[in-house]
Amino acid sequence: MGDDWRELDIANPTQEHSMLREMVRDFVREEVEPQALEHDKHEKFNIELFRKLGEYGLLGISVPEKYGGAGMDATAVAIVNEELSYSDPAFCLAYLAHAQLMVNNLAQNGSEEQKFRILPKVCSGEWIGCMAMSEPGYGTDVLGMQTSAVQKEDGNWLINGNKMWITNGAIDDQGTPADIVWLYARTGEDDKGRAQITTFLIEKGMDGYAVGQKIYDKSGMRASNTAELVFDNCLVPPENVVGNPGGSMTHMMRNLEIERIGLAAMALGIARRSLSAMNKYASEREAFGHQIRDFGQIQRHIGESWAEYRAIRAYVYDTAASTNLGLAGNRLDSDGVKLFATTAAKNISDRAIQVMGGYGYVGEYVVERLWRDSKLLEIGGGTLESHQKNITRDLVKNHDAIER
C-alpha cells in the first residue's frame, strides 16, 4: 500500500471541497463578517444576504443538479456551516434551517413531481423554507406532538395545531411567513399507541397558515428569526403530502442526522474563531511586563482549546465522510459529534472571553456573541440529554461499534 492516504486532509478531501471552502471563506470575509454585529444587535435577519447564498449555489448544496442544486455531500455541508459560523452562527442557523432541514429533506424524500416543482425555487433563494417539528408542549418528546391532520372525503387534508421555535418561521418583523414549511403532523396512532407522523408541504398563501408570533429577545442566534406557527383548519391538497401518510418517522430520523452534523460543524466554526481570537490577543496584551501568553493559567486556556478544537474537527469530518445523505444509520456518531462539539465550542468561546478580559465581554470583539450563539447548539436539533439517551440506546444494539 502506498503512502498517499497519509496526505488526505479529512476536512478538504477533494479539490472540489477545498474550492468550496475557499469560495465560502472569501464570501464570509467580504459579505458576512461586516454585517454580523449589527444584525445581532438589532435582531434582524439579513434576507438580502441570505438570497445571495442561492447565487453561490449554497442553498441547494446537497441537492442533485437536475433539480437546481450543487449535488454535493455531507462533507460539503459541514464545510459551508463551519465557514459561515466562523463569522455569524445566527446567519448560518437560518441557512441550516432552510438548506438542511427543509431543502435536503425534500431532495431525499420528496416525489419527482414535488422535487421538480419546489427545489429550483428553494435552491435559488426565491423561496425561503423552514422545518416545523417542535411544539409549545412537546420538544424532545417529539412523538407527543399534537398538531394533527385529517383527510377529508375530497382528498384534501385539514391541519390544526401550533408549532414553536421555528427558525425562518417568520422572515421579517411584519410576520411574513416562510414561503414553504416542511411540517410534521400526527395523522393517527399505531397499534402500540405511538403517533404516526406525516409530512406536509405548506405553502405561503394556503388558507389557515399564519405566523403566531416572532420570538424576540433570544440570548443568542439573534440574527435568525424564530417564530410560532399557527395552523387553523389549514387546507392542504394531497399533492403536498410527502411519501405515504403515517410513514414519516424514517425520513424525520434520517434528516436529523445531517442536521446534527450541520450543527456540530457550526460549533467547529465557533471554536476555530474563538481560538484564533484568544491566541492573537494573548500575544498582543501585556500585563506585569509580560505577554499574557507567558502565564500558565492563560496557557491552560489556549492549550485545552487547541486540543478540543482539533478533536471537534476530526470528529465532524470523520462523521461527515461516513454519512450517506440518502440513508439513515449514522445516529451514533451524528449524536456523538453534536454532543461533544457543542459543549466544547461553548467552553472554547468562554475561555476566549476570559483570556480577553473586559474586551472579550464587548460585542466588537466577537467572542461574546459566539458564546451566546454556542449555547443554542446544546438545545436545538436535540438537547445534550437526548444525545446521551440515544447513544446509550444505540450502544446496546451496536456494542461492536466500540470494539471495531
Ligand X SMILES: Cc1cc2nc3c(=O)[nH]c(=O)nc-3n(C[C@H](O)[C@H](O)[C@H](O)COP(=O)(O)OP(=O)(O)OC[C@H]3O[C@@H](n4cnc5c(N)ncnc54)[C@H](O)[C@@H]3O)c2cc1C
Which residues participate in catalysis according to the annotation? Answer: 259
What is the maximum alpha-carbon separation in the chain? 81
CB of 136 to ligand X, least distance (A): 8
* 337: Cα within 13 Å, side-chain hemisphere: 33
CB of 80 to ligand X, least distance (A): 18
Q: What span, in angstroms and rounded, lies between the C-alpha atoms of 106 and 111? A: 8
* Strand 129-132 relative to strand 180-189, pairing: parallel
Cβ proximity to ligand X: between 187 and 226 the closer is 226
Q: What span, in angstroms and rounded, lies between the C-alpha atoms of 79 and 284? A: 30
Q: What span, in angstroms and rounded, lies between the C-alpha atoms of 273 and 75? A: 20
Cβ proximity to ligand X: between 256 and 332 the closer is 256
Q: What span, in angstroms and rounded, lies between the C-alpha atoms of 150 and 156? A: 9
State phi, psi for 194 to the nearest 5 degrees: -85, 150
CB of 93 to ligand X, least distance (A): 7
Q: What span, in angstroms and rounded, lies between the C-alpha atoms of 281 and 396? A: 46
Grid cell of 235 as nine digits:
387546507
CB of 121 to ligand X, least distance (A): 19
Cα separations (Å) of 58 from 11, 24, 31, 52, 171?
18, 9, 15, 9, 19
**305 with 348: CB under 8 angstroms?**
yes
CA angle (177 as vertex; 171, 178 as ends), nearest 5:
70
Residue nearest to ligand X (CB): 139
Cβ proximity to ligand X: between 321 and 379 the closer is 379
Amino acid at 321: A
**84 with 58: CB under 8 angstroms?**
no
Residues in CB range of 299: below 8 A, 6 or more apart: 293
Cβ proximity to ligand X: between 140 and 324 the closer is 140
The alpha-carbon radius of gyration of the chain (Å, integer) is: 21
Cβ proximity to ligand X: between 90 and 275 the closer is 90
CB of 391 to ligand X, least distance (A): 13
Cβ proximity to ligand X: between 245 and 381 the closer is 381
CB of 140 to ligand X, least distance (A): 3
Q: What span, in angstroms and rounded, lies between the C-alpha atoms of 137 and 144? A: 9
CB of 264 to ligand X, least distance (A): 15
Q: Where are the alpha helices (DSSP H) in 183-295?
A: 249-284
Cβ proximity to ligand X: between 166 and 332 the closer is 166
Terminus-to-terminus CA distance in the chain, angstroms?
21
Residues in contact with ligand X by CB under 6 A are: 97, 130-134, 139-141, 165-167, 218, 221, 226, 376, 379-381, 383, 385-386, 389
